[in-house]
Amino acid sequence: MISIMSQDLEKQVRMKAQKWLDGNYDEETKKEVRSMLENDPKELTEAFYKDLEFGTGGLRGIMGAGTNRMNIYTVGAATQGLANYLKKNFAGQEIKVAVGHDSRNNSRKFAERVADIFASNGIKVFLFDSLRPTPELSFAIRELGCQSGVVITASHNPKEYNGYKAYWTDGSQVTAPHDKNIIAEVEKITEVDQVRSGEHPENIVLLDESFDERYLEKIHSLALAPEAVKQFHDMKIVYTPLHGAGVRLVPASLKKFGFTNVTVVPEQSVLDGSFPTVVSPNPEERSAMKMALDLAKRIDAELVLATDPDSDRIAIGIRDHDGSYVLLNGNQTCVLLSSYMLAGWKERGKITGKEFIVKTIVTSEMIPLIAESYGVKCYECLTGFKYIAKVIREKEGKEVYIGGGEESFGFLAGDFVRDKDGVSACSLAAEAAAWAKSKGLTLYDWLKQLYVEYGFYKEGLVSVVRKGKEGQEEIQRMMADYRSNPPRTILGSPVVKINDFQSLETIDPASGRRSPIVQDRSNVLQFYTEDGTKVSVRPSGTEPKIKYYFGVKAPLADVADFDRVEKQLDEKIERIKQELKLV
Residues known to be catalytic: 155
Indicate left, alpha or beta for 570 from its phi (over 0: left) and psi (-120 to 50: alpha).
alpha
Q: What's the one-letter identity of residue 419?
A: D
Instruction: Report the 3 state secondary structure along 82-136.
Output: HHHHHHHHCCCCCCEEEEEECCCCCHHHHHHHHHHHHHHCCCEEEEECCCCCHHH
| CA–CA gap between residue 224 and residue 299 (Å, rounded) | 28
What DSSP line would sit under 327-351, residue for residue? EP-HHHHHHHHHHHHHHHHHHTT--
Give, in degrees to the nearest 5, the angle at Cα 80 between 79 and 82: 60
| CA–CA gap between residue 52 and residue 72 (Å, rounded) | 13
| CA–CA gap between residue 331 and residue 365 (Å, rounded) | 9
CA atoms within 13 A on the CB side of 423: 33
| CA–CA gap between residue 103 and residue 97 (Å, rounded) | 21
Instruction: Report the 3 state secondary structure along 221-276.
Output: CCCCCHHHHHHCCCCCEEEECCCCCHHHHHHHHHHHHCCCCEEECHHHHCCCCCCC
Count of positions (residues) in the chain: 583
| CA–CA gap between residue 226 and residue 229 (Å, rounded) | 5
- Give residues with Cβ within 8 angstroms of 65, minimum separation 6: 20, 29, 32, 33, 36, 47, 71
Residue 192: DSSP 8-state: G
Residue-wise burial string across 435-447, b where 16 or more C-beta atoms lie within 10 A, e elsewhere: bbbeeeebbbbbb
